[in-house]
Amino acid sequence: MSEKNKENILKILIGVLLCGLAIMIIYTVNFHREKNENIKYLEEEKAYLKSELLEIQTAYDSLEVENILINKSLSHEKRRILVLLDSLQSLESNYNLLKKYRLQADQLKIAKHRLLTHLSALTEENKKLKTAIDSTNQVLRNNKQKTDSLHLKNEELQQRIDEASIIKISEVHGEGAYVKKNGELKITDHLNRIEQIRICFQINESKIVPAETLQLFIQVINPSHNLIGDKKREMFHNKELYYSQDLTVNYHQSNLQLCEFVSINKNHKEKGEYIVNIFKNEQLLSSSTFIIE
Choose among 180, 201, 202, 189: nearest CA to 272. 189
Tell me how far apart the alpha carbons of residues 78 and 53 are, in angstroms, rounded to a whole number.
10
pLDDT at site 258? 93
pLDDT at site 39? 62
In DSSP notation, 58-90 reads HHHHT-----HHHHHHHHHHHHHHHHHHHHHHT
Side chain identity, residue 290: F
pLDDT at site 162? 46
Of the chain, the percentage scoring pLDDT greater than 70 comes to 72
Polymer length of the chain:
293
For residue 104, give every residue at least 6 positions away whose Cβ sits within 8 Å of its Cβ, in sequence order, or none.
80, 84
Question: What backbone phi and psi angles, to 5 degrees, belong to 183?
Answer: 90, 0
Half-sphere CA count of 50, side-chain side, radius 13 A: 13
pLDDT in tens, 240-270: 899 999 999 999 888 999 999 999 988 889 9
Q: Which of the residue ranges 14-18, 186-190, 264-268 would you say has the lowest mean pLDDT?
A: 14-18
For the chain, domains (ranges, CATH) are 3-124 (no CATH), 169-292 (2.60.40)
Question: What backbone phi and psi angles, to 5 degrees, belong to 188?
Answer: -145, 155
What Cα–Cα distance (Å) separates residue 283 from each residue in 149, 170, 219?
A: 30, 16, 13
pLDDT in tens, 77-127: 778 877 777 776 666 666 677 667 677 767 766 766 776 776 677 677 778
Checking phi first, is residue 272 left (phi over 0); if not, alpha (psi -120 to 50) or beta? left
Q: Let me know if 198 is exposed, middle or buried by CB neighbors in 10 A (0-12, 13-18, 19+).
A: middle
For residue 185, give every residue at least 6 positions away whose Cβ sits within 8 Å of its Cβ, in sequence order, or none.
177, 178, 179
Confidence tier at 157 by pLDDT (50, 70, 90):
very low
pLDDT in tens, 202-217: 999 888 888 888 899 9
Mean pLDDT (whole number) for 58-62 = 73
- Whether residue 176 contacts residue 194, with contact meaning beta carbons closer than 8 Å, is answered with yes
